[in-house]
Amino acid sequence: MHDLLQIGKFPPLAQDIIDTEFRCHSLEALEQDQALRTAVRALITRSNCVVPAEVIERLPSLGIIATCGVGYDLIPIELAARRQVIVTNTPDVLNAAVAELCVGLLFALLRQIPQGDRFTRSGAWRHAAFPLGVSLAGKRVGIVGLGRIGKEVARRLEPFGVTLAYCGRTDQRLAWRFEPDLHQLARDSDILILASPGGRATEHMIGASVLDALGPQGYLINIARGSVVNQQQLIEALERGAIGGAALDVFDAEPDIDPRLFELDNVVLSPHVGSATGETRIAMARLTLDNLHRFFEDGTALTPVPA
Ligand code: NAP
């Protein structure tokens, strides 16, 4: 059985599979065992965990960082490439789960489903009518970052009778309209869905000017990363009614959520659970472990991220 450094906590059903196939050690355990620290060749982590550069620097035999998740914005990727450390993620196996959550959040926001639940439970229904919601049919949806997940979202939304457009670095020449200008996409959209990677290139890509372009009847859904949105400016936009509302699965400084978001009635919040179904988490753990097995077999990996 091979040794792994584990950074982050996995759900018990995933941890059970990992522990059956590998021997996991914590950072603290490695610090106390110089020989193991020198020998360990593989690191397993989750996409919401930071892998500090100094950890990579202190593991001379490290050959692979296998993250369970698709985002790798918290891994020092340039350092890994310089050190010839392979980085793997778990693309595709989570597309359906994340797309399903996105559609769920969208309806929760437009039809005020969480508010309706509270309204019904509290007995308020006896005294007043529940406020009208907003239909999805006929709306213009803009997707920022039309990759594996973005496309699954688009395919699921199409039957609801929306018009789709997308923005990214490249025109993928699809049936959906490509709009290279993010502000123009926001102006042309009733609903803006964020499904791009996090990291430096997309940091605060969505700020006050994009939100103003989306407008007071516009809705923002973020299933990408908290870093993609300037959260301060988003909260201000929500407070002053510059946009109609937002549904957020990802935040700055998770899980310490800015409490001003709790005061807003035009937001739906979820605790970064895009891929959090039992089926999906097992599939993600399986692919993570298969990457590690392949590395220990022949030094390659099944799903390496681009260096
Ligand atoms: P992907 O296939 O690599 O797609 C990313 C898309 O973003 C690509 O179409 C890319 O298109 C576009 N993009 C890249 N840089 C961009 C930029 N600067 N501006 C606009 N678009 C840009 O990745 P994926 O598997 O769909 O995953 C996307 C992201 O979803 C992940 O990186 C992660 O952050 C997030 N995610 C969240 C959860 C959750 O629980 N909420 C779960 C899984 C993933 P171009 O190359 O043409 O720009």
Ligand 1 centroid to 129 CA: how many Å?
A: 40
Query: What domains can you pick out in the chain, each with its CATH number?
Result: 3-91+278-298 (3.40.50.720), 95-269 (3.40.50.720)
Residue 229: the pLDDT is 98
| pLDDT of the chain, 307 residues: tens digit per residue | 999 999 999 999 999 999 999 999 999 999 899 999 999 999 999 999 999 999 999 999 999 999 999 999 999 999 999 999 999 999 999 999 999 999 999 999 999 999 999 999 999 999 999 999 999 999 999 999 999 999 999 999 999 999 999 999 999 999 999 999 999 999 999 999 999 999 999 999 999 999 999 999 999 999 999 999 999 999 999 999 999 999 999 999 999 999 999 999 999 999 999 999 999 999 999 999 999 999 999 999 999 999 7
Q: What is the largest CA-CA distance in the chain?
A: 70
What's this model's pTM, rounded to 2 decimal places? Answer: 0.96
Alpha carbon distance 33, 114 (integer Å): 50
Ligand 1: residue whose CA is nearest its atom 9 = 147
Residue 83 annotated in active site:
no
Catalytic residue among 37, 46, 272, 281: 272
Alpha carbon distance 42, 64 (integer Å): 5
In three-state form (DSSP H/G/I as H, E/B as E, the rest C), the secondary structure along 230-275 is: CHHHHHHHHHCCCCCEEEECCCCCCCCCCHHHHHCCCEEECCCCCC
Contact 91, 303 (CB under 8 A): yes
Residue 307: the pLDDT is 78
